[in-house]
Amino acid sequence: MIIDWAHFTPWSALAGGILLGLATGLFVLANGRIAGISGLLGSLLNPKASGRLDSLLFILGLLLAPWLWLAFAELPVIEMQVGVPGLLLAGLLVGFGARLGAGCTSGHGICGLSRLSPRSLVATLCFMATGFATVFVVRHLLGAGA
Amino acid sequence: MNRLTAFLAGLLFGIGLLLAGMADPAKVLAFLDLAGNWDPSLALVMGGGIVAALLPFTLARRRTRSLTGCPMQLPSKREPDRALVIGSLLFGIGWGIAGICPGPAVVVLGSGHLAILPFFVAMLAGMGLFRWYESRRG
């Protein structure tokens, strides 16, 4: 393992992480809800889900965050790393997998681990494992990407 | 009041993702690339998030109503099951292919990067597919 010190951004990563924790903390204390983005999107797709207005407003906040950011600084570089077929396959797997697994990086990785949920620990270990494995296969066995 | 806090929580979450670097798929994939030039930043994102959320969740668990009077909707299931494991494994594969998870997908769409549209539409389709699968399972 070689650590990429040139791209390692410990302070902004830590500060960003703390903001994520505070945002999920605000949502659970004020609204009684888990800030799991896949769960919130899923509830918007389900007409029978409860608290859909709160879900919608949270997602609206997420959509508008880049515009608040733009008022103070330039947006960071954002570039897709795979072509359209890769994006389609990845999106399908992310959408279906997060709903079947009852959560994603936010709901399990941050909220679930903070409430010491054994389910979220298992889920996080699972998606981390296949995330690492997939990048290994794509970059080092198939030789694609950087 | 709870409308405002939901919106603010989303806004704060989005700013957190942007600051953390998670809106950039290259940064996420650099974290997942253990065998290449590894960028450990995202471990600190998750660590910082968990530490900051620990106290609010500990307080929330003791309440039956939220500060604005909404019912607390915390998951009660604790035991992992097959669906949780299989779903999370599939999610990780998709995450590893594109370097995008649901939160950043929404933020990137909001920033006007239309290149993310194929991912976003497919993600919603995947969620719809799950609803269909669940309704068939009964």
* Spans of all domains in chain A: 10-141
Q: How far is B136 from chain A (nearest CA, A)?
A: 14
Residue B12 pLDDT class (50, 70, 90 cuts): very high
Q: How far is B61 from chain A (nearest CA, A)?
A: 8
Mean pLDDT value of segment B3-12 = 97
Q: A19 and chain B: CB distance < 8 Å anywhere?
A: yes
Residue A146 clears pLDDT 60, i.e. is over it: no
pLDDT tens digits, residue range A112-133?
Answer: 999 999 999 999 999 999 999 9
Residue in B with minimal Cα distance to A85: B118
Given an 8 Å threshold on Cβ–Cβ distance, is A17 in contact with B92? no
Q: How far is it, in rounded angstroms, from Cα B8 to Cα A88?
A: 31
Chain A 85-104, residues with CB within 8 Å of chain B CB atoms: 86-104
| ipTM of the complex as predicted | 0.96
Q: How far is it, in rounded angstroms, from Cα A79 to Cα B32?
A: 17
Q: B80 and chain A: CB distance < 8 Å anywhere?
A: yes
Q: A76 and chain B: CB distance < 8 Å anywhere?
A: yes
Given an 8 Å threshold on Cβ–Cβ distance, is A118 in contact with B80? yes
Burial (CB count <10 Å: 0-12, 13-18, 19+), residue A77: exposed
pLDDT of residue B130: 96
pLDDT of residue A49: 87
pLDDT tens digits, residue range B74-109?
Answer: 988 889 999 999 999 999 999 999 999 999 999 999
Which amino acid is located at B115 in the chain? A
- Give the one of A12, A34, A117 whose C-beta lies nearest to B78's C-beta: A117
* CA-closest candidate to residue A51, choices B32, B118, B69, B121: B69
Mean pLDDT value of segment B31-49 = 96
What distances in angstroms separate CA A130 from CA A43, A58, A107, B6, B117, one per listed residue? 26, 29, 18, 32, 24
Number of cross-chain residue pairs from A and B with Cβ atoms under 8 Å apart: 511
Return mean pLDDT, chain A. 94
Return mean pLDDT, chain B. 95
Q: How many CB atoms lie within 10 A of CB B80?
A: 19
pLDDT of residue A24: 98
Q: B114 and chain A: CB distance < 8 Å anywhere?
A: no
* Of A113 and A145, the one with more pLDDT: A113
Residue B11 DSSP SS3: helix
pLDDT tens digits, residue range A38-70?
Answer: 999 999 998 888 889 999 999 999 999 999 999
pLDDT tens digits, residue range B77-86?
Answer: 889 999 999 9
Q: How far is it, in rounded angstroms, from Cα A21 to Cα A23?
A: 5
pLDDT of residue B137: 79
pLDDT of residue A145: 56
Q: A144 and chain B: CB distance < 8 Å anywhere?
A: no
